Structure 1
Amino acid sequence: MRVEIWSDIACPWCYIGKARFTKGLAAFAHRDEVEVVFRSFELDPHSAKGDAVPVVEMLARKYGRTLEQARGMEAHVAVNARSEGLAYRTEGRLHGNTFDIHRLLHLAAARGRQEELLDLAFRANFAEDRSVFDPETLVALAVEAGLDEAEAREVVADGTAYADAVRADEREASELGVNAVPFFVLDRRYGISGGQPAEVFTQALEQAWAGRETDLPAPAADACEPDGTCAAPRA
């Protein structure tokens, strides 16, 4: 079985959703027979490269909130992240164009190190004081993931490297009707949107494995939208 996950490093619910999916997959009896592929989705593709802004300021502008209210939104997401055992910084993070990160993730996929780089990039962006919008940080993360430094540096410097692969993922997302991330596609038969609870992922995997024709459960879940904003956590 193949599971494809459309996500973006800038999306906190992708960070949380990946952790929940991993837990759901661990509880699935046929987990060793599941191939997981990560696909590209840019939350803010029109932002200028290198023009990263503080997340709190972006949230306040997008939602029409005060800075204090935006900090409250971040704090609420942090509670959800920490409940999954994930570290989460609520101050000092940046938001910007993630195209270079996605290109580098495609290199990592070609070298069999995609998930390693993805996990490192998520942690750098949400838990550590490291900017994933800095080219040198990207190269360092690639090396930590097991990639060749010279090759990673070449890809980061060459804006065309793996660009077609990123755009292909994004076109496919559009064709599938994906308008928020994270979005999970199971064997091209079932789609699940948002950072669902782990047990929902387990149930979805079981249904997809059994080949049932019934719809998968789709309770409300938190997700991030193409304008860079993320839905507030639901009670």
Structure 2
Amino acid sequence: MKSLRPITKKEKHSVTFWCGCFSGFSTALLIAVVLRIETKKLMEKEQGASYMVNIFPLYSFLGYIVLQMLTYAADIYFWKRYRINYPFIFGLKRGTELSYREVILLGTGLAVLALSCFLGNSYLDLGSKTQNLKTLIGLFPLGLVAIVLILLFCPFNIAYRSTRFFFIKSLFRCLCAPLYRVTLPDFFLADHLTSQIQAIRSLDLYICYYGLGERSQRQSKCHGHGVLASIFFLQSFQV
């Protein structure tokens, strides 16, 4: 019975502090992005409209991830409030589970990075007339996703390594479900992934822009590309 009782995890003051800081920063950056779009009338200009159609969906992929993390933080909050022993249910090692504040910290930190890159990208891209600089600026979304993947697969004991490895193992079992036994954490993760269809479609755009060379043209041909249409067709078979 002792293993079934939820234990109280000691919260760090630094987590609460940085959680509040990143929440404030992300809110301020979001307001700055909205003001940038509205004051400059980007959607009414040809160059601005082309930028929003081609570049904005690349950043929306990270936006969906942030939204999913905040939703998961809300789940943890209510589980903890009603004394549900979620670490035992999901098979997490005692003391390594993330609190809702830590999940909010990761989500808002990612939001600060994404919004900062988008805001800087819009200022430099739309205000620069140098083609070489525009080519370099166009790599901002890809570089941001690369940073996220490096942190996710980092083998060093930083940034919640046990939780990251648990997520990677569960994701691997979800992708190889016919070959591996699916447990409750895998089913829970797969259920969340099925609600992220728009995020997966945004991820497909990275293949089109950076893999198929559409980034340099910016002619909005990705949605009608044959390779991308084939990927969308394969996604329709997922459960």
How does the TM-score come out when normalised to structure 2? 0.24
Q: Report which of the two has the higher share of helix.
A: 2
How does the TM-score come out when normalised to structure 1? 0.24
Q: Report which of the two has the higher share of strand.
A: 1
User: Whose RCO is larger (CA < 8 A, sep 6+)?
Assistant: 1
